[in-house]
Structure formats: C-alpha cells, structure tokens
Amino acid sequence: MGARAPRRRAPGDAPLTAVEGAATFPSRRDYHDAVSRLRDEGFEMCLDLCAVDYLSHFGRRLPPEVSPERFEVVVQLVSVSGRRRVQVRVQVPESDPVLASLWDLYPGVEAMEREAFDMVGIRFAGHPDLTRILMPEDWEGHPLRKDYGVGRVPVQFKDAPGPR
Amino acid sequence: MSEHDMGSGLVQETYEGSQELADRAQTSPEELRRERGAVLRLPEGGAPGSSDVDVERTGDDSMIINLGPQHPSTHGVLRLMMELDGETVLRTKPIIGYLHTGMEKTGEELTYQQGATNVTRMDYLAPLSNELVFALATEKLLGVELPPRAVWIRMLLAELQRVSSHLMWLATNGMDLGSTTMMIFGFREREMVLAFFEKTTGVRMNHNFIRPGGTAADLPDGWEDDVEVICETVLRRLETYDELLTGQPIFRERTEGVGAITAEEAMALSVTGPILRSTGVAWDLRRDMPYLAYDEVDFDVVVGTYGDNFDRYAIRLNEVRESIRIIYQVLDKMPAGDYRVQDKKVTPPPRARIDESMEALIHHFKIFTEGFKVPEGEVYVAVESPRGELGCYLVSDGTAKPYRLHVRAPSFVNLQALPVMLRGGLVADAVATISSVDPVMGEVDR
C-alpha cells in the first residue's frame, strides 16, 4: 500500500471556478466589449469557444450577480507574452440565443463559433459564414442540446418483447 | 425529456445555406478579401486593397475544384474546395464533418471511468494525449493528487506518443512529396514505439491506459531496456532522415517558402503547436504552463523563422530529438511507488484484495457499475499534444457522468490556417501544405 491518499473534493466543497478566480462573467451586452478589453490587455489568442446547454443542470453555482440562463458560452483566452489564461463565460437566454461574434477580434473563432452554432444553436451576430460545420447542411436541430433526442437501436435478445 | 421539448419551436428549421465555396460571381468583394482581410485587419491600416486580392477578376478564367474527401493526400476525409486559375490557388475552403460521430454527445452518456475509451478515439495518432487531457480534467474536478510514479509514467508515454506521432507525420509528409523511402522509414520506426505500447497497454492504439486516478497498470518488467533501444535507434535513424531529406535539394525546393504563414496570422487564427512555433513564436505548454512534471525536466522549445513547410518539417524532426531527451531524463528519474491513487472511490482495488475483502469487492462493483461521482464544477485543462493545444472543458453536475465534455482539438482549429497558407500557391504544393498542417480527421470531426 502506498502513502495515504490526499483528501478528495467532496460534493459540498466550493465549486472549482470560484477557487481559481480566473473566470469573468460579463453580461450578454458587455460581452464583446469585455473581450475586446481583454484583448487590449494582452490576451492575444482565443484558444477555445464552446457552448453548454444547462437545461437539466440549471442550478449550477455562479457568482451572485450573474443570473443563470439556459445556455452558456465559454471562451478561453491566453496571453502568450504574459503566460496567463482567462476564461470568459457569458449567459445566453433560451428565448433569444443570439450573441455577438468575436470574429472581428479573433478571426480564429470562426470555426469554433460555427461549431457552437451547429451543436448547440447559438446564433453569432456578425459571423461571416454561420453555416453548419460538422452536421450536414440540411440537418434539423442541434445535437448537443439536452432536449435533443438521441434515439436508440433496440438490442435484440432471443424471445425478447419488441422494442419499447 | 422535459417540458421544453414540445411546441416551443426549439427544433427550428436550420437550413443555413450551403457550406460549399460559392462561385466568384456570387461572392462579394469583402468575402473575397476574407482570407487576407480577416487576418490582416489586426494591425491598423493593414487591410488589403483591391490589387492584393484581385477582386476585379471575373469568374470566367477560374474554376472551382474539389480536392477530397476521398483523396489520398488529404489524410482522411478532408474536403477542400479550391478556386484555381490554372495551377494557382486563389481561394480555399475546407469542408469537414465527414467523420463526425458525435463523440462529445457520447461522452455525456459514459461514466468518467468509461470516458477514456471515448476520447482516445478522437486523435487516433496520439490517443494517449487525449486520454491524458481527459484524465487531468477529471482529476482536477475530483481534487486527487497523483503519486509521482503515475505522473512520470504519463510523461514517458506522452513523449513516446509525440515521437510516434511525429514519425508518422514524417512518413506521410515524405509520401506526399514523393519520397516513398521516407514513408517506409517513418512507419518502421513508429512500429517500434507501437510495439512498446502494445507491451505496456495491451493494444497498439486506443489504449485506454491513462485513466482518471493514474494509469491502468504499471510499466512492464524491463521497460527501461525497451525504451532505451527505441531512443537509441530513433536517434540514429534521425541522422538518416537528415541525410535523406534535410539536405536534399529537391526536398528543400519543394518545401522552402511554400505555405508560409506569419506569426500575426497564426496567432489571429488561434493556431497552436508546430505551426505556431514555425513562425517564431516560442509557445509550448510544456514549458510555458507546465503540467505533469515537465518543470523538472530539461528540454528546448524548437522554433522556426519563416513559417513555411520546411520550418514545420524541421521543427517536428527536432521535436523528436527533444522528446527523446525528455525520455532519457524520465529513465533516470522514474520514481518508485504506486501507479495510481489508492483511493477506493476512484480507482478499483487490486485484484488480490477482492478475494479477501468484502469491502474491496463492493468498491470494485460500485466503480464498474455506477462509476464514481465527481463534485460539481467546470474546468478547462490543456496539454501540448503533438499537434498543438489539446484542451478539455469538462462540466460536472455532481453525478458519475460528465454533464458536458468539450474537446478543443488542435487540428480542428489549425485547419483554419489552410486558406491563408495555400493562397497564391500551386496545387502540387497544396498537397504538401495540407500534410504540413498535420490534420487528424478523427479529431477535427470528433
């Protein structure tokens, strides 16, 4: 047996994002300006942008001033010169899933925003080519949404009742 | 299924138009400037004029062709639509998604214990890097700290993986430039690494070896000798490659100055890995944001100057040397101890304990039927894969399955640099340039 294992995080512990303190939560209106300011502060690269559908985990822990919405777009910026990262998380409501595109600040988000649109259905205003990127052109629905039916293949056992 | 499901109009008609490259007659001048304009807008006043992008040209003397998705030089099912004027490439649009299998969605249905089997299939030339980033993200959410031996085993495997991936790249890149000798050489040396992986993990690829909580097993007996043989042989053979390619006039002519990209363009396009380093930006997560124990080993970050295909070749070739340098240090410093955390809630108990302890049997049963619960939180972890920054954004809602698993695939983002690199070049060079981006379609489409 090795040394005693260090303590794991328990379900009641503070959420990791609060511990790390590296995330900012701008409102949807400020989002573009906030990222623009961060870029001026030296965050030269936008490494990742993804969207999360919080439909069935609505009560996630957020800073008190942020009111949760169904969708969240998460942007990872990095400062190559300062060797720092920052995370920008913005809430996007279900009724109007539109967000300003970062394409004019970071042209590299083009494919990532297309993926977020394709998979979760966030519409990025100002994106030059907002088409589906992974799914076929005529696909309906956004597969990474939580209410997207995945379907299933019935497993056939001998003498089994038909697919339920 | 929720009450949001029906009648709220969420499943919209989503036909958003064609993904294909539009004909020149249907394309606005702004659109024609995009490949250069989008990137060059950053320095003020750098926007290209009409002379730079020949927007006056009519569609009559150009034609649009498809390269792929079933073309041998596209390294998988990558489809490039190119507008050509004779042999010169005017515009390019990569069209992807042919290998999309919904792995991020699948990841939401698998427990953390099973998740490694899913992510390992994304980048099939560097599966251990994928497992590593997933395991690191899960461990960060769990808050477990690994025993040192697990960390160093992971480093050894990650660096061997880089060697094998770069050797594979050297092989296919040689093939694309007509050097079948290089292809045979690259595959021959990669085979040695894969044989070691098979001995260690049981399979040649898709190992499912690096798991949350450590690794699946300890290294096999005599691993030091195997690794030493690999290192010596590869180092010696690298000299042969130098002789075969680096100094060879035909190879240099085909690669030097071809597919060039500047540092500003690469950073604006979020490009990472050897492509970014080829432009002279010394950005390597292993050095700049160390994970595992990379801050305890000594290695150099290889950078280029011109951002062309030759620089990318030279960088990958020399990164193999640097990786071997790291592997030698791992050989010296490999600590003894356990290869996984002894935390019964996270890792299964040793097989022998199951026979003698009811509790161990219960833990074993629980882990393999239900998985382990991971506390709530969101975490982004990135590692330097052979292709660039490989990131994992993991959201946990406190259950045993990830609520959202997003993988930031380096090839997916790096492909965006292709239109910039190919612009103004020849079709024959396009094949070499596609190869120098090193796209792995399994990772691009996930």
Please, which pLDDT band fits residue A150 given cuts at 50, 70 and 90?
confident
3-state helix, strand, coil in chain A (%, to 5): 15, 20, 60
pLDDT of residue B274: 93
The answer for A 42-71 residues in CB contact with B (under 8 A) is 44-48, 50, 52-53, 55-57, 60-61
Task: Quote the CA–CA distance of B124 and B166 in Å, as a whole number.
Answer: 13
- Nearest-neighbour CA in chain A from B341: distance (Å): 6
Q: Which of B5, B140, B268 sits opposite A107 (nearest CB)?
A: B268
Tell me which chain B residues have a C-beta less than 8 angstroms from the C-beta of A140.
Answer: 11-14
Tell me which chain A residues have a C-beta less than 8 angstroms from the C-beta of B377.
Answer: 9, 15-17
The answer for B 249-308 residues in CB contact with A (under 8 A) is 267-272, 281, 283, 288-289
- Nearest-neighbour CA in chain B from A161: distance (Å): 24
Tell me which chain A residues have a C-beta less than 8 angstroms from the C-beta of B376.
Answer: 11, 15, 60-61
- Nearest-neighbour CA in chain A from B161: distance (Å): 23
Task: Quote the CA–CA distance of B443 and A58 in Å, as a whole number.
Answer: 30
Tell me which chain A residues have a C-beta less than 8 angstroms from the C-beta of B41.
Answer: 104, 107
pLDDT of residue B227: 93
Q: Which domain holds residue A52?
A: 16-125
* Mean pLDDT confidence for A47-66: 86
pLDDT of residue B8: 42
In this structure, are residues A62 and B402 in contact, taking their beta carbons and an 8 Å threshold? no
Domain with residue A102: its CATH number is 3.30.460.80
Cα B334 to its chain centre, rounded Å, is: 26
pLDDT of residue B243: 86
Residues A35-55: pLDDT tens digits? 999 888 888 899 999 999 998
Chain B interface, mutation test: which of A50, A55, A104, most B Cβ atoms within 10 Å? A50
- Which residues are within 8 A (CB) of B85 and not within 5 positions of it... i.e. 6 or more apart? B57, B61, B62
Residue A155, in any domain of the structure:
no
Q: Which residue of B has its CA nearest to A80?
A: B283
* Mean pLDDT confidence for A64-74: 87
pLDDT of residue B154: 93
Which of the two residues, B302 and A162, has the higher pLDDT score?
Answer: B302
Residue reference for tokens 């380096």: B410
In this structure, are residues B345 and A8 in contact, taking their beta carbons and an 8 Å threshold? yes
Q: Which of B143, B270, B412 sits opposite A45 (nearest CB)?
A: B270
- For a pLDDT cut of 70, what percent of chain A falls above it? 80
The answer for A 15-34 residues in CB contact with B (under 8 A) is 15-17
Average pLDDT, chain A: 80
Residue A8: pLDDT over 60: no
Q: Which of B375, B391, B412 sits opposite A9 (nearest CB)?
A: B375
Tell me which chain B residues have a C-beta less than 8 angstroms from the C-beta of A40.
Answer: none
| Contact A152/B at CB under 8 A | no
Residue A105, in any domain of the structure:
yes
- Contact assignment for A74 to B393 by CB distance below 8 Å: yes
CATH architecture of B113-370: Orthogonal Bundle (1.10)
- Nearest-neighbour CA in chain B from A36: distance (Å): 12
| Contact A119/B at CB under 8 A | yes
- Contact assignment for B380 to A76 by CB distance below 8 Å: yes
Cα B371 to its chain centre, rounded Å, is: 28
CA angle B41/B47/B51 to nearest 5° reads 150
In this structure, are residues B227 and B196 in contact, taking their beta carbons and an 8 Å threshold? yes
DSSP state of A85: E
| Contact B352/A at CB under 8 A | no
Per-residue pLDDT of chain B (446 residues; tens, 9 = 90+): 333 443 444 444 445 567 777 777 777 666 666 665 545 444 334 444 444 555 556 656 778 888 878 777 777 788 888 888 888 888 888 888 888 888 998 888 889 988 889 999 998 899 999 999 999 999 988 888 889 999 999 999 999 999 999 999 999 988 888 888 888 999 999 999 999 999 999 998 889 899 888 898 889 998 999 999 999 999 999 999 888 888 888 888 888 888 888 888 888 889 999 999 999 888 998 888 888 889 889 999 999 888 889 999 999 999 999 999 999 999 999 998 888 888 877 888 888 888 888 888 888 888 888 888 888 888 999 999 999 999 999 999 888 899 999 999 999 999 988 888 888 888 888 888 888 888 888 888 88
pLDDT of residue B289: 87
The answer for B 43-102 residues in CB contact with A (under 8 A) is 96-97, 100, 102
Q: Which residue of A has its CA nearest to B266?
A: A108
Task: Quote the CA–CA distance of B377 and B375 in Å, as a whole number.
Answer: 6
**Domain count along chain A:** 1
- Nearest-neighbour CA in chain B from A52: distance (Å): 7
Q: Residue B215: which region, alpha, beta or left (left: phi > 0; alpha: psi -120 to 50)?
A: beta
